[in-house]
Every structure is written in C-alpha cells, then in structure tokens.
Amino acid sequence: MSSLFELEQKILLYNPSADIAFLRKAYNFAENAHRGQKRISGEDYIVHPLAIAIILAELQLDIKTVAAGLLHDVVEDTGVTLADIENNFGSEVARMVDGVTKLGKLQFQSREERQAENLRKMFLAMAKDIRVILIKLADRLHNLRTLQFQSERKQKEVAEETLVFFAPLAHRLGIYKIKWELEDLSFRYKEPEQYQHLKMQIAKTRAKREEYIQEVIRLLAEKLNAVNIRAEIQGRPKNLYSIYQKMVEQQKELKDIFDVQAVRVLVDTVKDCYGALGIAHTLWKPIPGRFKDYIAMPKSNMYQSLHTTVIGPNGEPVEIQIRTWDMHRVAEYGIAAHWKYKEGKQGDQDLDKKLAWLRQMMDFQHDARDAREFMENLKIDLFSQ
Ligand code: GDP
C-alpha cells in the first residue's frame, strides 16, 4: 500500500529541495479531516487523496499542486472550510482546492447536458489554473483503478464518461501516460467481453511478435552504433483500446492490424533523430504515406517525434517512432512536462508565463480546426447552446 514516505521519495527525486514539511502538514491535515471516513473498498479514505498525490508526483508537479491533491476532497466531504485551507496552506492551494470542489459539484439531469456543461466549466477552470484539471485527471484515474468496488451500473457510467470526456482531455493536454491508462481501464469495464477476448488474443501471439521486434531492435542498434548515434531502442506495446478502436474502425481482425507492437528510438539530439530515420530507411523500405515529421510540425498538444512505418526484416510492417529524451518527456507527460517545480518568486513568474501561453493555446476561437477535431472526438457540439 502507498504511504506518505513513498510520496516523499518520489518528489525528492525530481525536486530535492521540495518543502517536505509543507507536504507533511497537508497530509496530516487531510488525514485528520477524513478520519473515520471509508472508501467503498473499506480502506481509510486518505488512501484516495494519497494515491492522487502520488500520480501528481509522477507527473513531477510542484509541491503546491501535490498538496492540493491531498486536500482536494476535504472541503466537499468534511467540516473544513476554504478559509481554513487558505490560512494553513495559502491562497494558491486554496484556489486549486476550490476549483476541484466546484468541478465535482456539477450535476445535471441528462447525461448529455451534464457532459457539455462539465466540459465548458472544466475549460473555464483550466483557463484560470490548468493544475486543477491535472488534479481532476489524477482523481479520475485513481477512481478507475479502484472501480471494481462499484456497482456494475456505476462502472459502466464512469467508463463511458471517461472515454467521452476525460481521455480526450488527457489527449488534448498531451498526457499520454494517463490517457492510455484511462482508456484501457474504461475499455475493460465498458466492454468486458471484448476487452478480455482481445487481451487473450494478444497474449497468445506475444512471444512471436516480441521475437520479431527484438530482431528489428538488434539490426537497428547495430547500424546506429556503427555511425555513432547513441540511442536507446525500446519495443513498445500499444494500448489495448487503440488496437480495439483500429479493429472496429477498419473492420479488421487482430492479425491484420500491423502496428500492434512498435519500436521507439530515443536519442540525444534532433540531428540524431533525422540521422536515425535515415538509417531506418536504408535498412528497410518505408511505406508511402506513413512518414510524419512531428518535429518540424509539432502537434497542438506539443507532441514531437518522427513516425515512420517500414517493411521490416521478415516482410512485415513495423512502426518506428524516433525522438529525443526531452521530446519523450513531453510525449508522456504533455503539459505537465512544462512545469517548473522551482519554489519562490522566480518559479511563480515562470508559471505565470506558462499559464498565459496555455490560455492562448487552449483558446478555441483561435484554434478552430483543432477544436472541431476535439469536439468530434467528444461527440459533443460545444457551440450548440
Ligand atoms: P496513426 O497511426 O494514423 O494514428 O498515425 P500517427 O503517426 O499520428 O500515430 C502513430 C502512433 O503514435 C499512435 O498510435 C500513438 O501511439 C502515437 N502518437 C500519436 N500522436 C501522439 C501524441 O500526441 N502523443 C503521444 N505520446 N503519442 C502519439
């Protein structure tokens, strides 16, 4: 089971000068406030805010956000007021807790209405402080991880809402690490039979696929080494839900989906990215139309990478992603990767600049094409009301 100690260790790894006393104070405050409350699992309630704080620490967020994660439910669920939070932890943490509490309170009659309204409020809140959204995503992720304790009806509802709203939100913010986990967990509860079936099928063919990928990695590593490009090459299993979506969209069986497993090449510099691409294309023939240069043209969620699909050594296609380590961090953590965890004045100024930039980026009016794409994902027409 997770502990405060584990949380502290995670934070100290990326922020050795973090104010651990402040964090402990937030933990003790939350633990006190929730004392006696239980999760449906029967565990003490504090395990939930603690798990959220750990997810936020894995995103390497600043200590105030982690503290707000610990405290996010106290105003809603206990006698503690926002003024208490402000007195003890300052206005920044209080504002975040308030933002999360407000989002949690939204309840509407029909599901459609609830989602559309939620969406708008979410974005309004985000324009003020995007960290509120990150806490909300962490909250949803932990609720999904512990969804087995809920009724079947509730499981389906949460899964559906996650696929329609929270996973696309994580996508939009570029936080793929969370997006993938949200999707796979939701898929498991929304379509339990399809999920289990696909999982089994993939497990059955895993050994053969991995053998092939290892061969690709070996050949590529050899050539990169020969031209002095330092690289780490990883075999990359794709998340189940994206495979399932491809099967449904393209009406194909698993055996006809070629990029079930792919290869990722991590290098030090942009120059090496293009160098590695050249090597891959001399080793194997690229499939026309499958090359994408998201380094020269980053996606609106800031994702950067080179993508190509080649006909690999045994004649089967392999997808290859090439990026620098810095790009890799953004690919996994998205917006959260841009956070400064510096404490004090300088840190705050940096944060202000980032937030101003984010507001601009998230402004739908200035981003009509992407907004449409996003809305299509969500199947909600924001402009209809
Ligand atoms: P697709 O196969 O037609 O979707 O072509 P893409 O080249 O756009 O994407 C290929 C794979 O790259 C996807 O299946 C994802 O695994 C990954 N990918 C695409 N966009 C993103 C992104 O914004 N962030 C991250 N982390 N991965 C992405």
CA angle, 213 then 219 then 221, to 5°: 95
Nearest in space to 49 (alpha carbons), one of 150, 135, 158, 152: 135
* Predicted local distance difference test score (pLDDT) of residue 257: 83
Coil, strand or helix at 341:
coil
Query: Do residues 312 and 213 make contact, with C-beta atoms less than 8 angstroms apart?
Result: no
For the cut 90, the answer to whether the pLDDT of residue 360 exceeds it is: no
User: Which residues neighbour 176 within 8 Å (Cβ) at sequence distance 6 or greater?
Assistant: 170, 303, 331, 332, 334
**pLDDT, tens digit, for every residue of 260-298?**
879 999 999 999 999 999 999 999 999 999 999 999 999
From residue 127, alpha-carbon distances to 64, 90, 370 in Å are: 18, 20, 17
User: Which residues neighbour 148 within 8 Å (Cβ) at sequence distance 6 or greater?
Assistant: 155
State the DSSP H helix or E strand holding residue 71, giving kind and residue range, or none if neither: helix 63-71
* Predicted local distance difference test score (pLDDT) of residue 379: 36
Mean pLDDT across the chain, nearest whole number? 85
The burial of 218, by beta-carbon neighbours within 10 Å (0-12 exposed, 13-18 middle, 19 or more buried), is given as exposed
**Which atom of ligand 1 is the closest one to the Cα of 303?**
23
* Predicted local distance difference test score (pLDDT) of residue 103: 76
User: Which residues neighbour 271 within 8 Å (Cβ) at sequence distance 6 or greater?
Assistant: none
Beta-carbon count within 10 A of 313 CB = 15
Please state whether beta strands 261-267 and 317-324 pair in parallel, antiparallel, or not at all (unpaired). Answer: parallel
Coil, strand or helix at 154:
helix
How close is the Cα of 307 to the center of ligand 1, in Å? 8
Under the banding of pLDDT at 50, 70 and 90, the label for residue 374 is very low
Beta-carbon count within 10 A of 160 CB = 15
Q: Where are the alpha helices (DSSP H) in 173-262?
A: 176-190, 192-226, 240-250
How close is the Cα of 116 to the center of ligand 1, in Å? 26
Lowest mean pLDDT among 80-89, 300-309, 374-383: 374-383
Query: Do residues 45 and 22 make contact, with C-beta atoms less than 8 angstroms apart?
Result: no
- The ipTM is 0.92
How close is the Cα of 151 to the center of ligand 1, in Å? 34
User: Which residues neighbour 285 within 8 Å (Cβ) at sequence distance 6 or greater?
Assistant: 310, 311
Under the banding of pLDDT at 50, 70 and 90, the label for residue 343 is very low
- Taking the CA atoms of the chain, what radius of gyration do you get in angstroms? 22
Pocket probe mutation, ligand 1, options 305, 308, 324, max atoms within 8 Å of Cβ: 305
Mean pLDDT over 238-252 rounds to 92
Q: Is the CB of 180 under 6 A from ligand 1?
A: no
For the cut 60, the answer to whether the pLDDT of residue 25 exceeds it is: yes
Residue 69's region, left for phi above 0, alpha for psi from -120 to 50, else beta, is alpha
Mean pLDDT over 340-344 rounds to 45
* Predicted local distance difference test score (pLDDT) of residue 168: 83
State the DSSP H helix or E strand holding residue 350, giving kind and residue range, or none if neither: helix 344-362
User: Going from the N-terminus, what domains does the chain have, and what CATH number goes with each?
Assistant: 4-190 (1.10.3210.10), 205-332 (3.30.460.10)
* Predicted local distance difference test score (pLDDT) of residue 113: 55
Mean pLDDT over 27-51 rounds to 94
* Predicted local distance difference test score (pLDDT) of residue 287: 94
* Predicted local distance difference test score (pLDDT) of residue 384: 30
- Identify the residue with better confidence: 301 or 94: 94
Point out the residues that are catalytic.
76-77
Rounded CA gap, 139 and 161, in Å?
Answer: 14
**pLDDT, tens digit, for every residue of 200-213?**
999 998 888 899 99
**Which atom of ligand 1 is the closest one to the Cα of 290?**
7
CA angle, 349 then 74 then 138, to 5°: 60
**pLDDT, tens digit, for every residue of 113-152?**
556 556 666 666 666 788 888 999 999 999 999 999 999 9
